[in-house]
């Protein structure tokens, strides 16, 4: 059988998991059904016009949790893919998926206690939140262009620490076995990571842009906006508040990147785009200032400050990937140094023999002007050369080999190499061979390695076998008994001509044993409605309203009942 994901980049495949539909309980499906019915009723009036059509075009049904492979088939028709993943992905990996027009969908399902909102990724947020609006051509274009920018953005080691803390806290909040002390400790650790942030990286600014558009964006007129952000489309309370409560609405501009956010709280303000072309305009404003589009001294300094894996692309096309450590410069860069491990590549393909294993201790090189590159191109192997580089760098060595691609000299390797700047030794012959990267200017500075597939094992990125599900489902006797009741409701749902007595008998049993299971009662309410038992329908509605003391859930229940 053909591998469905054969065209997915090799380094991303390990993050794809199997979505075993049998692992979803009938309670999970009931939770999905409740959210989707409320969502369709509300968003038909208050979401962007692409929403309802988008549900159908991307394979999302109301009654049952979608099969991601079926969504994938639908999305391929509009230039996207869908793959099942588990929980929080490392940001680097998530953006790699998006840059390749692949929507990673967390296959976990939120618990009933978090039916309105969960900070952990789940299939409600990823599938029902993100995918419907993708059918809009301009929005799809924006997402793809954003993915490219995000995949190239410089991120810091501080960003990584915050990500790990957020993921840990989110997983704990969705885990029914987590204690209040564990959650408190995780909250305190996240606060300490945030307090230690010394500067805002490109990746963090882009994350803010993503938050105020892709996650919590509004579009249209400021007085009567429509919802398109996935965070709002997957939260039945916050979406309602965004429209009907006094949430501040601000016209979208590049200034939104100066607004931080808290994933655990409802948002105090929201940004309204004129249309989806407006999103692309704002993104392009930010892109024009990014290091991967500008290169040069300023971009290199930013990469050094980030202390994370970055790639310098020289004007010759050769790429140096690793953690930039330092530079020598006056008004321009003359020499650069990377901590190991380092990878050398061309057009995002690692050069043979120049991977992270070989350059495990680091890498350095002067920038090489065109005159010297031409001179080296004419020299034979084993010839001794003495060179004077810009900025007063003295160089001597014997040519051992050359790397030439498409008639372009990219790399010259030397033995017996000595490099000095004034009296400082930059490279000593005893250190081994020296590899000179040919290029006179750093045209681009981007986040991450050039050839991710060959460098991923050397990065501080969690590999798939270390990633855990969002939560651990309880399998107590009580849980199993409740699921048995859902099974009995499901049997009635799939039967024709169910009698009033059958539904009443089951209702009384639920009220006797599990009166607080409001979602179970809602599932039974559907059966009464399908069979046109109006009196029984009214009776069950009244029981649902008495089933919980949770104020937020009660508010949601009242809204849902008002739509019936």
pLDDT band at 471 (very low <50, low <70, confident <90, very high): very low
pLDDT band at 562 (very low <50, low <70, confident <90, very high): confident
Q: Do both 171 and 229 map to the same domain? A: no
The confidence score (pLDDT) of residue 405 equals 97
Q: Do both 225 and 316 map to the same domain? A: no
Which of 202, 184, 271, 204 minimizes the C-alpha distance to 231? 271
Is 4 within the bounds of a domain? no
pLDDT band at 1 (very low <50, low <70, confident <90, very high): very low
Which contacts (CB < 8 Å, 24+ apart) does range 355-364 have?
355/454, 355/455, 356/322, 356/454, 356/455, 356/458, 359/322, 362/322, 362/325, 362/337, 362/338, 363/320, 363/322, 363/337, 363/338, 363/435, 364/335, 364/336, 364/337, 364/338, 364/426, 364/427
Is 275 within the bounds of a domain? yes
Q: Do both 369 and 451 map to the same domain? A: yes
To the nearest whole number, what is the mean pLDDT of the chain? 93
DSSP string, 284-313: HHHHTTSHHHH-HHHHHHHHHHHTS-EEEE
Greater confidence, 476 or 561?
Answer: 561
CATH code, 103 = 1.10.800.10
Query: What sign does the CA torsion over 443, 448, 454, 459 have?
Result: positive
pLDDT mean over 277-304: 98
pLDDT band at 368 (very low <50, low <70, confident <90, very high): very high
The confidence score (pLDDT) of residue 279 equals 99
Q: Do both 179 and 42 map to the same domain? A: no
Q: Do both 105 and 193 map to the same domain? A: no
Token pair for 522: 């809602």
Q: Is the pLDDT of residue 138 over 50?
A: yes
Task: Identify the domain containing residue 497 by its residue range.
Answer: 477-562
Distance CA 439, CA 314 (A): 5
Q: Is the pLDDT of residue 549 over 90?
A: no
Phi, psi of 500, deg, nearest 5: -60, -40
List CB contacts of 41: < 8 A, sequence separation 6 or more.
563
23 three-class SS: helix
Is 464 within the bounds of a domain? no
Token pair for 140: 């799809």
- Length of the chain equals 564
Which of 36, 32, 18, 22 minimizes the C-alpha distance to 107? 18
pLDDT mean over 541-550: 91
Q: Do both 122 and 177 map to the same domain? A: no
pLDDT mean over 95-99: 89
Distance CA 456, CA 23 (A): 31
Which of 402, 521, 469, 528 minimizes the C-alpha distance to 109? 469
Q: Which of 26-30, 321-325, 405-409, 472-476 has the lowest mean pLDDT?
A: 472-476
List CB contacts of 124: < 8 A, sequence separation 6 or more.
32, 35, 109, 110, 234
Q: Do both 313 and 424 map to the same domain? A: yes
The confidence score (pLDDT) of residue 2 equals 60
Q: Do both 232 and 312 map to the same domain? A: no
Q: Do both 122 and 271 map to the same domain? A: yes
Distance CA 470, CA 114 (A): 12
pLDDT band at 87 (very low <50, low <70, confident <90, very high): confident
Q: Is the pLDDT of residue 436 over 80?
A: yes
pLDDT band at 463 (very low <50, low <70, confident <90, very high): low
Is 515 within the bounds of a domain? yes
pTM of this prediction?
0.91
Q: Which among 458, 486, 510 is the end of a domain?
A: 458
Q: Is the pLDDT of residue 410 over 90?
A: yes
The confidence score (pLDDT) of residue 468 equals 55
Q: Do both 219 and 324 map to the same domain? A: no
Q: Is the pLDDT of residue 65 over 60?
A: yes
Is 468 within the bounds of a domain? no
Distance CA 419, CA 425 (A): 6
The confidence score (pLDDT) of residue 465 equals 55
Distance CA 212, CA 219 (A): 11
Is 5 within the bounds of a domain? no
The confidence score (pLDDT) of residue 519 equals 97
Is 289 within the bounds of a domain? no
pLDDT mean over 468-490: 79
Alpha helix ranges (H) inside 234-350? 238-244, 276-287, 291-294, 296-306
In the chain, % of residues over pLDDT 70: 97
Q: Is the pLDDT of residue 119 over 90?
A: no
Greater confidence, 216 or 474?
Answer: 216
Q: Do both 434 and 540 map to the same domain? A: no
Q: Which of 37-51, 161-175, 300-314, 439-453 has the lowest mean pLDDT?
A: 161-175
The confidence score (pLDDT) of residue 331 equals 86
Q: Which among 232, 261, 284 is the end of a domain?
A: 284
194 three-class SS: helix
CATH code, 396 = 2.30.30.100
pLDDT band at 246 (very low <50, low <70, confident <90, very high): confident
Q: Is the pLDDT of residue 466 over 80?
A: no
Which of 234, 120, 126, 142 minimizes the C-alpha distance to 472? 120
Query: What sign does the CA torsion over 93, 96, 98, 104 have?
Result: negative
Q: Do both 443 and 537 map to the same domain? A: no
Q: What are 485-517's pLDDT values in tens digits? A: 999 999 999 998 899 999 999 999 999 999 999
Q: What are 145-189's pLDDT values in tens digits? A: 999 999 999 999 999 899 889 888 888 887 778 899 999 999 999
Q: Which among 198, 229, 263 is the end of a domain?
A: 198
The confidence score (pLDDT) of residue 474 equals 52
In the chain, % of residues over pLDDT 90: 81
Is 112 within the bounds of a domain? yes
The confidence score (pLDDT) of residue 470 equals 45
How many domains does one find in the chain? 4
């Amino acid at each position: 059988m053909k591998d469905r994901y054969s065209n997915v980049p090799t380094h991303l495949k390990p993050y794809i998991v199997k979505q075993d539909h049998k692992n979803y309980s009938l309670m999970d499906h009931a939770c999905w059904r409740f959210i989707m019915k409320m969502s369709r009723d509300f968003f038909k009036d208050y979401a962007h016009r692409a929403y309802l059509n988008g549900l159908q075009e991307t394979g999302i049904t109301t009654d049952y949790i979608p099969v991601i492979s079926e969504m994938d088939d639908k999305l391929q028709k509009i230039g996207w893919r869908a793959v099942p993943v588990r929980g929080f992905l490392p940001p680097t990996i998530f953006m790699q998926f998006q840059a390749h027009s692949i929507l990673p969908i967390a296959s976990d399902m939120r618990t009933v206690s978090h039916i309105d909102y969960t900070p952990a990724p789940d299939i409600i947020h990823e599938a029902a939140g993100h995918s419907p609006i993708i059918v809009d051509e301009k929005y799809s274009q924006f997402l793809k262009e954003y993915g490219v920018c995000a995949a190239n953005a410089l991120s810091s080691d501080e960003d990584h620490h915050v990500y790990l803390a957020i993921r840990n806290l989110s997983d704990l909040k969705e885990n029914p076995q987590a204690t209040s002390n564990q959650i408190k400790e995780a909250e305190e650790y996240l606060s300490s990571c945030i307090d230690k942030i010394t500067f805002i990286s490109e990746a963090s600014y882009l994350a803010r842009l993503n938050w105020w558009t892709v996650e919590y964006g509004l579009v249209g007129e400021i007085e009567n906006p429509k919802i398109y952000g996935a965070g709002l489309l997957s939260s039945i309370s916050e979406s309602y508040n965004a429209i009907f409560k006094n949430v501040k609405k601000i016209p979208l501009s590049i200034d939104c990147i100066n607004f931080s956010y808290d994933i655990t709280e409802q948002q105090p303000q929201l940004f309204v785009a004129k249309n989806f072309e407006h999103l692309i305009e704002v993104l392009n404003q930010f892109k024009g200032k990014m290091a991967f589009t500008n290169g040069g001294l300023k971009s290199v300094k930013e990469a050094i400050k980030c202390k994370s894996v970055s790639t310098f692309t020289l004007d010759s096309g050769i790429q140096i990937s690793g953690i930039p450590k330092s530079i020598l410069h006056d008004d321009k860069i003359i020499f650069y140094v990377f901590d190991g491990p380092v990878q050398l590549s061309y057009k995002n393909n690692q050069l043979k023999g120049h991977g992270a294993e070989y350059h495990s201790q680091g890498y350095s090189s002067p920038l090489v002007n065109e005159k010297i590159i031409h001179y080296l191109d004419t020299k034979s192997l084993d010839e001794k050369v003495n060179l004077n580089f810009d900025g007063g760098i003295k160089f001597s060595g014997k040519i051992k080999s050359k790397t030439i691609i498409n008639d372009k000299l990219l790399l010259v390797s030397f033995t017996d190499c000595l490099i000095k700047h004034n009296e400082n030794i930059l490279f000593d012959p005893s250190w081994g061979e020296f590899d000179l990267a040919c290029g006179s200017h750093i045209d681009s500075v981007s986040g991450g390695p050039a050839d991710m597939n060959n460098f991923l094992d050397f990065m501080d990125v969690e590999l798939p076998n270390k990633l855990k599900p969002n939560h651990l489902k309880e399998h107590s006797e009580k849980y199993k008994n409740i699921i048995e009741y859902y099974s009995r409701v499901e049997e009635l749902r799939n039967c024709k001509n169910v009698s009033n007595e059958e539904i009443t008998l089951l209702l009384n049993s639920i009220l006797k044993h599990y009166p607080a299971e409001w979602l179970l009662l809602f599932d039974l309410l559907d059966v009464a409605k399908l069979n046109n038992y109006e009196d029984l329908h009214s009776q069950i509605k009244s029981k649902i309203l008495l089933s919980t003391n949770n104020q937020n859930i009660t508010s949601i229940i009242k809204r849902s009942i008002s739509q019936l």
